[in-house]
Chains A and B, each alone.
Chain A
Amino acid sequence: MAIHSRAAHRALRALWVAVAAALLGSSGGALASPPKPGGAPLVAAIETTPLVVLGTIDGVTRLDAHGYAADLTVERALRGEVEPGSELTIAWEELAKGRETRLANADRIVVALEPLPTQSLWRTRFPNASDDGSGNDNDRVFVIATRGTAFQPGPDPTTTALLTRLAALAPDAWNGSTGVTLLAETAAHAQPRIATGALARLQRVENLSSVFEAAARAEFAALLASNEAPERLKREAIQLIGDADLSELRDPLAGVAAAPGPLEADAWTALAKLDPGLSAQDVAALLGREEGVLRAVAVEQAKATPSEKRVPLLIVEDPAPEVRSAAVEAWVAWNGAAGVPQAEPALFDVDRQVRGHAARAIGGVGEEVVPRLLELLEGRSVEDSLGPVAALSLAGPKGYTALKHLESSHPDEKVRKLIRFALGQRIDPH
């Protein structure tokens, strides 16, 4: 639908929206008011889009089954040449039903905009639009970048300021210390969704640790120490510290690890990833903790510590499935085929996921474990066959051949059926 006379159509648009809302019935499983998209993708979009604008929405209009448009009165441009006070038509798609449109009249947003796509669906919606957004008002149509998600509703002044600075970054600065520091600052101080976007962008910086300078570290330390920052955001930051091996953040990370709470395990996990890993004392201490998730972290770090010899015992005796899983995976990874005898009990663990980890570990050793797995299958019920059968299926061609043999020869019909299942073959020939 072409938009020719903005003022004349506003009342009609309001009616459209009301009708659309009435038509958009609740589809199966959808919440009455599901969360709207937006936020995080704006950070990455700022890096590449030609136009980033702070403005106010009006005249939200449904164009067709999925297309929407609105007027954006520009308050100021963070990037690109648009005069304050000018009006742009912006468009996006709502592919989901049963959710309020992502933008509503009077919303104040920062938004990254792209030229109207040349795709026929968009050109049908805006037949008079120019290719680059130039021309008179009726032709200046943009789409919200990143499939309609690159916007932040209700930006606070701090966030706006940070986004303004990000928009001013030179393209080659994003992966350097300047950009990284600004992204770290954004993660520490922007509104949560934008902060999450900043962390996601940091995750994409190659050799992040090499450009993660003191200022950035200070921002992260502040974020970790913040009482106001959402737990999810802090968890993402902690994971980034570990994944990117930001070793110089060990102390603030250790501070989080030392404080009992929901982030303790995340912090220990991240600490374990920092070179050179956990100390033998830390491992021993964590193995004594009540929380299974902490013991699981310790198990993975127990190699070449005095605690290593406890791992076979943990495979069978630890009350937490995640610890038994971690123990069997670690033990076989350290010892290969020589570690299989101690790992075997986990193939019959009461918890199926533990059996799965055992199967993955033992099967991954390869064909040399096949004869032993066949022995372990003898006389087993279908339930007890799960682990060995899964391990055989992971043990390569020789395991496959063994399963093919057992498929016809195993005395228990249910086990034969299980094996056919494992082989991905027909159970019911009809």
Chain B
Amino acid sequence: MNLPSRPHLLALCLGAALLVGSQCPSQPILSIVEPVEGAVLEGCSVAVLVSAKGTSEPGTLTADLNGVAVPLVPHPVAPKVFEAVIPVDPASGLAAQNTLTVSVEGDGNQTTKSVSFQHQPEAPQARQITDSADLITGPHGDSRIGDWLLENCVARFVVQDAPARDLTGIGQYGGNLIDMERRDTPGRESFFEVQPMINIETVVNAEIVEIVNDGSDGNPAIVRSCGPDDPMDYINANTLVDDLLGPGSFPASADDVDQPVRACTEYIVDDRSPYVEMVTTLENLGSETSAHYIGDYLNGSGGLEQWTNRGAANNPFGLSSLIGEMTATVSFGAFSFHGYGRNEGVSYAYIPIPLEGSPAPSSSFTQTGVSAVLHSNAVISVLFLGFPPTFSVPVGESRSFTRFVGVGSGSASEAIDQQLSLLGTATKTIHGCVTVGGDPAPGARVAIGTMNATTIVDMASHFVADATGCYRGNVPAGIYGLAAAKKGVPYEGGGATPIFHSVDLVNNDIVEQNVALPATGRVEVSVSDASGAPIPARIGIVGTDPSPELLNSFTLAGVLDIDTSLFHDATDDPIPDGLAWVQYAGADGQAGFDLEPGSYDLWVSRGSEYSAYSESINVAAAPAAPVTVAAQIARVVDTSGFLSSDFHVHMIKSSDSTISNEDRVEQFAGEGVDNIVATDHDRHTDLDPIITDRGLAAHVGSIVGEEITTFDYGHFNAYPLGLDPDRVTGGSTDWARGAPIGEGFPASCDPGAPPLPFAPSYTRLPGEIFDEVMNAQKVAGGVLNDSPSVAVQVNHFGSHYGPLKIDTASLPLRSQLSAAERCARRFDPAAPDEDFFFAFPALELWNGHTRGHQSEFLDARIGVWMNLLNLGIKTTGIFDTDTHAFFTVRSGGARSWTPASNDDPALFDGDEVGAAVLAGKVVGGQGIYVQARLVATNDTNNAADFSLAGSSQLTTTDGEVTLEIDIQAPTWAPYDTIEIYRNATTSVAGSNGGVPVDYTAIPTQVLESFTGDFNVATVTVDESVPGADRFESSLSLPFSVAQDSWFIVIVKGTDANSASMFPVMPASVGQNGGVRALGATNALYVDVDGNGVFDAPGLSVSP
């Protein structure tokens, strides 16, 4: 901006003096120095300079540009001169033709001046990225050299280069929109991808990207990607529908049908909009009219909350719409994704343009974070009721569909503003500011919408207050309610519900509505270990939130709907019942947070190996001083020689997790897990740089893994894995095999269909997936996963054996899928039944933190594992969390311990972790740490255990063995029962289509402390730290074994005899008081016939 020189300012003063005579001016003298009347300005912003002299009262100075307020600030040098820089931005009001109006008061007079000027922004540009400075970065920034950039004054967009097969969720193909950012807030990219959909299960597989217009002509910049249709491997919707409703329910015309089409998508960016127009054109190359269910696959995936509005105001259908829900199967008008937590300040919008002539609104269905958007059709009608496509292309012709994808500054309202603008809907304006105790409240949430008697039931727009605590946006005309909230702050009025302000936007075009939230309290916690050193930990606030998230309280038959909320997403990641807040202290042991005034119990904990600290606190509102707490905790469980790991952890690069890598590592450091196995869906994520950056290397480490994520026959975790720097995914495993472009289709499931003009492509069988992990190559050459001990586990394996109909108690082990069911899952129909079973090294027996997760382990999975053991298939049981969220504290659930030559989180050997899993040397638990050892009774040097140097199998000739059991647990994790399983009998617990797939098991021996079977001692570990105690038990149990046997030990607290672990383990508090402690070993084996191998005892299934 060009500032006026001092002579210029002097001239202004002189001129003013001349106008009013030689005396001091007695009225306001107002002058718009810049821009001058009639100016034609260029660039990405316009400088405003205003002189307000004479009797002008600076506090009364106001300016607006085309009706939008301009925030003038004092010039840093010149007195009584004010300035502003107006950027190109829909919110700034800057347009091609402009009127700037400035007013000021003084001595009871008001003076107003106006100037008109024209503005031409810099031309938009398109170019292929050759310089890393052009890359869009941030938590989900995926752009690379070679991708294609579109930019204007406001925003930048990246279309991925093509072809680029790299299997990861909906991002398996190139040519799609992958990154977006506002130019004024770079480095915050938090959106995954938009993949054009051609026919539900098929999408555009772009094979070329080119610049149609680089913008040098001053017209919109255009990048175009083109390609044929190909299956979306990540989505196989027919099995979802047909498994639920029976074969043939899914529209056959959209089931992996190779249509004779080619599609091109043009990405169009004009000179001043923060969105890209996407126009996809389908060209019919067939001999019949082609019909398509068209739309997009959307995946925000970043640290975003999601909201879809209900659609057009006159839409008779559609469900209510509040934050967090994904209820749009009937209709929606705009998708919004707005950042929260670390990602606050960024937002995204997706707005479909209705198909001409089609009365149906667009709709969507969301599964595991991915939204399938159908343009001008209702998902529910299509998937349930077989409604036909609404988009067809005549022979030899082409037809297009359009949507706009935008990037904003953090509010869902920006999507609404864009929707209303694009559709030409008449709007009214709402604006205002939110304060907390009189101070601006950046990040406060503001909801406006249609009310019932008590609350908003249909949200018209939703705001996140900006850095000044203010908000502004447009809505259709209406009488609305408006309320605001901020986490950790009482509602306006101090009650349990907010005050709803009635806003009349029928009789007013613009309404200002401010919200004054009361002052709140604050808590500051410092955490140290037994030595007094700071240590990461979790702080849990036990109590009732005085201003709970306002849920949809529309009632029916007295039942409350509890899943949708007004201000924040309370659906995906709720704080557990009984807790009012959860916070983690980082490497410095410090944590501070706002908390509503009230009385609470504050708990500090660090997972299963540490004691817990608690203190009652009374929080008062500012200006009262913050509550300060100095907490000390101590390691009370001795796990020397063993390293704790969570083998199943999701972060922001997973399609269904919004948790940043930073939050995740701080959380695991606070939960006392030594090793995070990063297992994003179809991604290789390296957390070590983040761990180092956060100063947490002494507390937590990580190894690279991957959750290989098929759509409908299971997920598989592999670790430790390598990183391929030449792939966005870091080297995801192509479980779907891949094929030449346009030839990814399996043979039709309709035996009467004509054969494909190319070799069918079938998804990989389980064993082939394992082989792919082991043999994958880097782009630049060389083996990708080069660890000598890569382990692969079947995750939550009901989702593997179940859909494949594998009965682990029926020989030979095989799939009992029918030919049609195989075809539906894109399998090679000629594959032998037995090839569907693969003996993966490990099974994820227990993934989670709730009573339900424990039940899955003990009531449905344990018997499957034991069937395999009885068949001599030595398979390692894995205990982990599968955490996707944060506040649920799932990360504090089950974990596994493996032997380590160095159990320091900073120094452990990742290969040892994999080797331990392959060797079956794993014990697991939630609150309980249990080790077992089998000793030959007559030769104590002959033993089997889980140690690094030991063996999990011993050989005896007399069958006399002693099972030694050692149990430790913090005193907040009591236990009372030990179950011993030896060549156990199993029983069916669940089936799929008549094929038993779930089994529980019957313990061989049960010991109960409350009946005196064993003793639980309380041991003080460190007298200097209050509460640094543990429970422990040691047992030696003799067995005479007549045949080769395996032994497994499970230790638990039972509802009747042990207290729940709340609030350290806060899950399931509504069920018998919460979750109980649980621990388990893997199998130790006895070879009694002396042949040196474990001979399978054979299946034992209870009828």
Contacts and interface: CB of A to CB of B under 8 A. Distances in A.
B937 interface: no
Interface in A85-111: 95-99
A116 to B, nearest CB: 11
A382 B249 CA distance: 12
Interface in A190-232: none
Interface string A344-364: 000000001101100110011
B100 interface: no
Interface string A381-392: 011001001100
Interface in A381-410: 382-383, 386, 389-390, 393-394, 396-402, 404-405, 409
A400 B240 CA distance: 22
A121 B217 CA distance: 11
A375 to B, nearest CB: 12
A233 interface: no
Contacts of B561: 400-401, 404-405
Nearest to A399: B319
A149 B397 contact: yes
A390 B385 contact: yes
A394 B742 contact: no
A356 B382 CA distance: 9
A281 interface: no
Contact of A29 (B229, B330, B385): B229
A121 B221 CA distance: 11
Contact of A28 (B258, B284, B386): B258
The 10 closest A-B pairs by CB, nearest first: A356-B385, A28-B742, A35-B396, A119-B213, A118-B217, A34-B285, A400-B319, A397-B320, A120-B214, A29-B258
Contact of B367 (A366, A399, A428): A428
Nearest to A407: B563
Interface residues of A, number: 67
Interface string B725-754: 000000000000000011111000000000
A307 B1018 CA distance: 87
A430 B317 contact: no
A191 B258 CA distance: 32
Nearest to A35: B396
Given A34-B287, A405-B559, A27 B742 contact: yes
A28 B398 contact: no
Nearest to B381: A356
Interface in B743-774: 743-745, 756-758
B364 interface: yes
A135 to B, nearest CB: 18
A119 B317 contact: no
Contact of A96 (B285, B326, B328, B758): B285
Contacts of A422: 329, 380, 384
B1063 to A, nearest CB: 23
A339 interface: no
Nearest to A119: B213
Given A34-B287, A424-B329, A426-B368, A27 B380 contact: no
Interface string B372-390: 0000000111011111000
Contacts of B367: 426-428
B1023 to A, nearest CB: 44
**Residue from B214, B240, B396, B458 having most chain A Cβ neighbours under 10 A:** B396
A135 B168 CA distance: 53
B111 interface: no
A74 interface: no
Interface stretch (A137-145, A158-166, A413-421): A413-421
B366 A425 contact: yes
A398 B554 contact: yes
A353 B386 contact: yes
B396 A352 contact: no
Contacts of A370: 556
A423 B325 CA distance: 9
Contacts of A404: 552, 561, 563
Contact of B796 (A118, A425, A427, A430): A430
Nearest to B316: A364
A425 B327 contact: yes
Contacts of A372: none
Contacts of B328: 424
Nearest to B328: A424
Interface in B546-577: 552, 554-557, 559, 561, 563
Interface residues of B, number: 85
B658 to A, nearest CB: 13
Q: Is the interface of B mostly helix, strand, loop or mixed?
A: loop
A421 B329 CA distance: 9
B653 interface: no
A128 interface: no
Contacts of B605: none
Contact of A401 (B244, B316, B554): B554
A121 B326 CA distance: 41
B532 interface: no
A370 B741 CA distance: 49
B330 A386 contact: no
Contacts of B326: 423-426
Given A34-B260, A120-B217, A352-B386, A28 B745 contact: yes
Given A35-B395, A424-B365, A29 B329 contact: no
A27 B262 contact: yes
Given A28-B745, A356-B386, A424-B365, A35 B381 contact: no
A9 interface: no
Given A66-B226, A364-B317, A98 B366 contact: no
A168 interface: no
B210 A65 contact: yes
Contact of A121 (B210, B319, B387): B210
Given A118-B217, A356-B387, A31 B396 contact: no
A99 B212 CA distance: 22
Given A29-B258, A31-B286, A95-B281, A430 B368 contact: yes
A29 B259 contact: yes
A258 interface: no
Nearest to A404: B561
A37 interface: yes
A147 B385 contact: no
B689 interface: no
A396 B450 CA distance: 13
Nearest to A423: B327
A35 to B, nearest CB: 4
A404 B563 CA distance: 8
A97 B226 CA distance: 10
A95 B319 contact: no
Interface in A19-38: 26-31, 34-38
Contacts of B745: 28
A372 to B, nearest CB: 13
Contacts of B330: 393-394
B982 interface: no
Contacts of B385: 352-353, 355-356, 359, 386, 390
B380 A393 contact: yes
B711 to A, nearest CB: 10
Interface in B242-278: 244-246, 249, 258-262, 264
A31 B287 contact: yes
A383 B286 CA distance: 36
**Residue from B229, B262, B379 having most chain A Cβ neighbours under 10 A:** B262
Interface string B516-552: 0000000000000000000000000000000000001
A28 B799 contact: no
B758 A28 contact: yes
**Residue from A38, A120, A409, A426 having most chain B Cβ neighbours under 10 A:** A120
Contact of A65 (B208, B365, B796): B208
Contacts of A98: 285
B368 A428 contact: yes
Given A356-B384, A370-B556, 16 more contacts: A28-B745, A29-B229, A29-B757, A38-B396, A66-B210, A121-B213, A353-B387, A393-B329, A401-B556, A405-B561, A421-B329, A424-B325, A425-B366, A426-B367, A429-B884, A430-B882
